[in-house]
Structure 1
Amino acid sequence: MRHAPGPQERCRTVTFQTITTTTDAGVMTVTLNRPDRLNAFTRRMMEELMTALDHADADDAVRAVIVTGAGRGFCAGVDLDDDDAFTAARVDPKATDPAIWADPANRDMGGMLTLRLFNCLKPVIAAVNGPAVGIGATMQLAMDFRLASDTARFGFVFARRGIVPEAASAWFLPRLVGMAQAMEWCMTGRVFPATEALSGGLVRSVHAPDDLLPAARALAQEIATNTAPVSVALTRQMLWRMAGADHPMQAHRIDSRGIAARSSSADAAEGVASFLEKRPADFPDRVSADMPGFFPWWTEPAWEEEPA
């Protein structure tokens, strides 16, 4: 029998200053909550989003995360009235001391968020309910799935503002949509509709506005209901990190360690038993306690050695 939801799994809502989080049935929904400003991005929003991701990673009851926007927009880019958003711009760009650029006060806010998303142990789904430009577009690139309303608009508008793409999008965007498409969107800086985002490979699917969140929740629930949390956390990191590997041998090494560790796990035994008994699986392992000993493998000095 599958376990009944405990108190930690029941619906609960947390309100920050710029976002809200609601957790229900294994899915945390994070809502950017500055609708009067089209959810324009601030340093506080960055900090609160990163805190919400910390909570999601630490909470075994959270199996997936959805990020969406309140009101008619997803995120209209950086709030130009937020003085704290531009602290890095006050640093001498010619500075060569690595400590200056390692200081979080001087780093690009979008990149700090996307790197936190990159390290997330739970799958993250963007439900893009309206305009998403600048950081509103680039923050999504480190999420695992992007679903869009047919009212959504996207724009990598940086060249039209005299700046450059941020949020590590020069790494993420070509991997998602290919170099030619990434170049076109970034070089022109134009705002484009959800249909173009779909044909260009940026979004998974386009939905009527009222169908967007139900579709995102259905995808999140498919993960939450049918898969082993530790397997999902490992798979997420394997896919993202191997996207930048120099040789398939690096992936083979991690595959081999992952298969060896997980084949002897309680989850693997339950996966086989539930299949043979034709019943839903109730995976016992938890991300908080049962990640394999080699995780995180990328911190090992030898993991990027020359492949055999």
Structure 2
Amino acid sequence: MAGYTTILYGVASHVATVTLNRPEARNGFTVRMADELAAALRAADADDDVRVVVLRGAGRSFCVGADLSADGGGERSFGAKADQGAEAALAAGTYLEPAGVVTSVMYRMDKPVIAAVHGAAAGVGATMLLPADFRLAAEGTKFAFPFTRRGVVPEGASAWWLPRIVGLTRAMDWLISGRTFLADEALAAGLLTAVHPAGELAAAADRLAGELAREVAPLSVALTRRLVYRLAWADSPEPVHRADSRLVHETVRGPDAAEGVASYFEQRAPHFPTAVPGGLPEYAAVPNGARHPAPQEPGVT
């Protein structure tokens, strides 16, 4: 998707930065923003030059949730009458609501995602963070899953993600009450990787992104992400044994392992030769350990 209007996208030093860019609306989420975010994440995942993605928000807040204004700030409103395409997709069982359009793409990515949030992360501003691999926040950031207080239900598959990240008790507290909580509570519960002073958040995210881009093998990251997200909740460890045994057998004989060992002994930065997705080998396919296959990934329109 060319010509983004609600986000900014750029790539430098193997890091793709995706910025929510409706600061006048505190990055209120719209259907267009959902489509643009999904397109940007797909673009980053398909780019061999990109090794890491950083997700952040412009202005005072990361994202205060769905834009609830009458016209969505000039964008298509969430409360608007569904079009025929959406109704048909709903009937066919292929419809994804806007938050799910973003989180389903992030879940399937082969690149690690660092989310750096500040100000407020409410509603979809919180649910879109859940498939990120690293979630950093500024001190004092406010979080909320306020769906029950708005007469709707949790979206973005947050009912699946949140209990797995913070446990069922805390997830039910946040999802049922819809209350606001601060970054310190989010960190203690395991929702966040780290909390930083507000003035240091951007630099912390950039440092982490730079370290990942320089020091870890893109293929190893892709395979690790697939192993965890597809098999961590399998019914037993047996499918994980089968998958990781094959991956160890293959990767230990590959060029990335040779470079990783050589750079370690030579005390230098590694230069891993295998690009992702361009260099993904056939053995990179990791079966889904769930009882049911993942749904297809349609758009929202």
Equivalent residue, structure 1, for 2:250: 261
Confirm whether residue 68 of structure 1 aligns to residue 56 of structure 2.
yes
Alignment of 1:266-277 (within 5 A): 266-277=255-266
Whether contact under 8 Å (2:231, 2:289) holds in the other structure is no
Q: Is the 8 A contact 2:67 2:77 kept in 1?
A: no
- 1:27 paired residue number: 15
Shift of 1:299: 6.9
The letter for the 1-side match of 2:27 is N
Q: Equivalent residue for 2:192?
A: 203
Which is bigger in relative contact order (C-alpha 8 A, separation at least 6)? 2
Give 5+ residue unaligned stretches, structure 2: 294-301
**2:168 aligned with 1:175:** no
User: C-alpha displacement at 1:19, in angstroms?
Assistant: 0.2
Distance in 1, Cα, partners of 2:173 & 2:83: 30
Contact between 1:88 and 1:108, CA under 8 Å: does it hold in 2?
no
Partner Cα distance (2:291, 2:118) in 1: 43
Query: How far apart in 2 are the matches of 1:301 and 1:173?
Result: 17
| Residues 87 and 267 (structure 1), Cα distance of their counterparts in 2 relative to 1, 3 Å cut | farther
2:239 touches 2:289 (CA, 8 Å); kept in 1? no
Equivalent residues in 2 for 1:1-308, closer than 5 Å: 16-80=4-68, 81-82=71-72, 83-86=76-79, 100-104=91-95, 107-298=96-287
Q: Is the 8 A contact 1:150 1:209 kept in 2?
A: yes
Q: How many residues align?
A: 285
Distance 1:229 1:266 in 2: 12
Q: Kindly provide the amino acid, as one letter, of the partner of residue 37 in structure 2.
A: L
What amino acid sits opposite 1:17 in the alignment? T
Q: 1:22: Cα distance to partner?
A: 2.2
Distance in 1 (CA, whole Å) between partners of 2:3 and 2:108 is 24
Aligned to 2:282, what secondary structure does the other structure show? coil
In 1, are the aligned partners of 2:263 and 2:269 still within 8 Å (CA)? Answer: yes
Displacement after TM superposition at 1:40 (Å): 0.7
Whole-Å separation in 2 of the counterparts to 1:173 and 1:145: 14
1:188 Cα deviation from its structure 2 partner: 1.1
What secondary structure does 2:114 align onto? strand
- Distance in 2 (CA, whole Å) between partners of 1:63 and 1:149 is 24
Cα distance per residue 1:122-144 (max 9 Å; x no partner): 10011002111100100000111
The TM-score with structure 2 as length reference comes to: 0.88
Mind listing any 5+ residue stretches in structure 1 that lack a counterpart?
Answer: 1-13
Distance 1:153 1:230, change over 3 A: same
Q: What RMSD in Å do the two structures reach over aligned CA positions?
A: 2.5
In 2, are the aligned partners of 1:229 and 1:286 still within 8 Å (CA)? Answer: yes
